[in-house]
Amino acid sequence: MKVRTIGIVGARGHTGAELIRLLAAHDGLELAFVSSRELQGQRVADHVGGYSGDLRYESLDADAVAARSVDAVVLALPNGKAAPFVQALDARAPETIIIDLSADHRFDESWYYGLPELTRARYAGQRRISNPGCYATAMQLAISPLADVLAGPPQCFGVSGYSGAGTTPSDKNDVQKLRDNLMPYSLVGHVHEREVSRQLGIPVEFMPHVAPHFRGITMTVNLWLRQPMQREEIIARYRQYYADEALVGIVDDAPWVSRIAGRQHAEIGGFAMAPGGKRVVVVATLDNLLKGAATQALQNLNLALGFDELHGIPNPKAPAETAA
């Protein structure tokens, strides 16, 4: 097996740490550099449990990253920060795979949108890959099996742990302000609302909230159907749709976010039917740092670099060790 080299830019954040942990256990991928201005010079192993090498964080600008000649670069940067790195890599190392975890290229048709369970067939060797948003992943997985029979826009009530707000201090990751609280924000026009509407080709309504727990998303989706359906028929449709997907589990009851934290897959369940059979409420949960970000990035790296899509993803659908 040929070992491929990976660099991460923006490695200080929660997602960067999770990806480092996953890459450390992948026998076909070698972490060549991790870039973080704030942690420059410090040992990665001192910050990321599960990583034991001597690699240290560096502060690398776009030209320095492009000069490293690695097989793939993961951009784990805030929205709006990817452009200089993409431009430098396009100019100096165009063969390098780029995985962008931000929203910067999710609306760019020249980039492959990498939600493998739904877009795998569209992958044709593209070297520019946009990783979907965490909320957007949950919404699309919950809606897609019924997208062709809907009578109107899905209404999506999303609740995320505060790790989804990143490490830059704000109200949405202030533990004291979140205590005993549920914080609504961006109730119309959220970027993930636009992302899902674009990908599914139907209007989607999304209302995000932040809760006091650290990690995990609960997505409750209200779906109106054109024709009445039985609950058993809907569950069968979901089971068939995801029958071959190791990272999507279909459960009978509404899944709990406390049971998905630290796990690699998404769960979909609930399937509550209103009288008349034309309205169903579906609940999806996933770990926003894993299947909502780092695990999905590794799926895309594997796909682009010629490995089995699940290579290096520990125990799909089983508990995984994580850092708080």
Active site residues: 134
Cα angle 210-294-122, degrees, rounded to a multiple of 5: 110
Q: How far is CA 118 from CA 176, 196, 208, in A?
A: 38, 12, 23
Question: To which residue do tokens 């796909």 refer?
Answer: 303
Q: Which of 72, 76, 114, 77 is nearest to 94 (CA)?
A: 72
What does the DSSP assignment read for 100-166?
A: E-SSTTTT-TTSEE--HHHHGGG-SS-SEEEPPPHHHHHHHHHHGGGGGGBSS--EEEEEE-GGGG-
Read off the amino acid at residue 134. Answer: C
Strand order of the β-sheet with 205-210 is 183-184, 205-210, 155-160, 217-224, 279-286, 266-273, 248-250
Report CA dihedral (31, 37, 41, 47) to the nearest 10 degrees.
Answer: -60
